[in-house]
């Protein structure tokens, strides 16, 4: 096994940047919701660009709900935080995999037949989700990252 040249400030394997990109991709319904909330009232229809029907948006939010737990557990992954989030962090890889696969399946189901002509930008998320599923399944470092939790510092 290769030695890790750098550890984070808690002595843990650093989380790869692509993990954060995957979180952004999976949390896109919530991020687009926040974006729409910050716009002036005249431009509130921007959410319909991403989610043509309200039902699509609600289903996307439900699919991304477990990812919010992963984000909270990630934010508690320091030496001064509660270890109560450790069990959620340990199963986070599977939560992400299930959310990513469900999002990919729903995105493929909801793609219109003429997506290449009307909205080719919708294919970017499908490709990203496919790569995310592949990475979550094949990564050698993710099992190690999700098995670690910092020990509290005793003074």
pLDDT (tens place) for every residue of the chain, 155 residues total: 455 457 777 677 888 999 999 999 999 999 988 888 888 776 767 777 777 788 888 999 999 999 999 999 998 887 666 778 889 999 999 999 999 999 999 988 877 777 766 767 778 888 999 999 999 999 999 999 998 887 765 55
Is-contact 107 123, C-beta < 8 A? no
Task: Report d(CA 31, CA 44) in Å as an integer.
Answer: 14
Whether 154 is in a domain gets the answer no
What pLDDT score was predicted for residue 99? 97
CB atoms within 10 A of CB 86: 15
Instruction: Retrieve residue 132's tokens.
Output: 């995310």
* Residue 120 included in any domain: yes
- The pLDDT value recorded for residue 153 is 59
Q: What is the pLDDT of residue 152?
A: 64
Q: What are the C-alpha distances in Å from 125 to residues 88, 120, 128? A: 26, 10, 5
Q: What is the pLDDT of residue 83?
A: 77
Confidence at residue 117, expressed as pLDDT on a 0 to 100 scale: 66
Asked whether residue 152 is assigned to any structural domain, the reply reads no
The answer to whether residue 94 is domain-embedded is yes
Predicted local confidence at residue 1, as pLDDT:
47
Residue 94 belongs to what domain range?
17-147
Q: How many domains does the chain have?
A: 1
Predicted confidence at residue 5, as pLDDT, reads: 55
CA distance 63 to 57: 10
Long-range contacts of 57-62 (CB under 8 A, 24+ apart): 57/29, 57/33, 59/106, 60/28, 60/29, 60/103, 60/106, 61/29, 61/30, 61/33
Give the 3-state secondary structure of residue 52.
coil
């Amino acid at each position: 096994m290769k030695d890790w040249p750098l550890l984070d400030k808690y002595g843990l394997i650093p989380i790869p940047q692509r993990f954060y990109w995957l979180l952004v991709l999976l949390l896109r319904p919530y991020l687009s919701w926040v974006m729409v909330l910050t716009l002036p009232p005249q431009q509130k229809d921007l959410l319909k660009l991403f989610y043509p029907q309200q039902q699509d948006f609600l289903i996307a939010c439900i699919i991304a709900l477990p990812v919010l737990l992963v984000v909270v557990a990630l934010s508690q992954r320091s030496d001064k935080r509660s270890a109560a989030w450790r069990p959620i962090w340990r199963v986070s890889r599977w939560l992400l995999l299930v959310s990513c696969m469900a999002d990919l399946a729903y995105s493929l189901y909801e793609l219109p037949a003429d997506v290449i002509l009307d909205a080719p930008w919708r294919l970017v998320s499908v490709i990203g989700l496919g790569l995310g599923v592949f990475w979550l399944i094949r990564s050698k470092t993710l099992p190690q990252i999700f098995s670690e939790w910092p020990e509290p510092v005793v003074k």
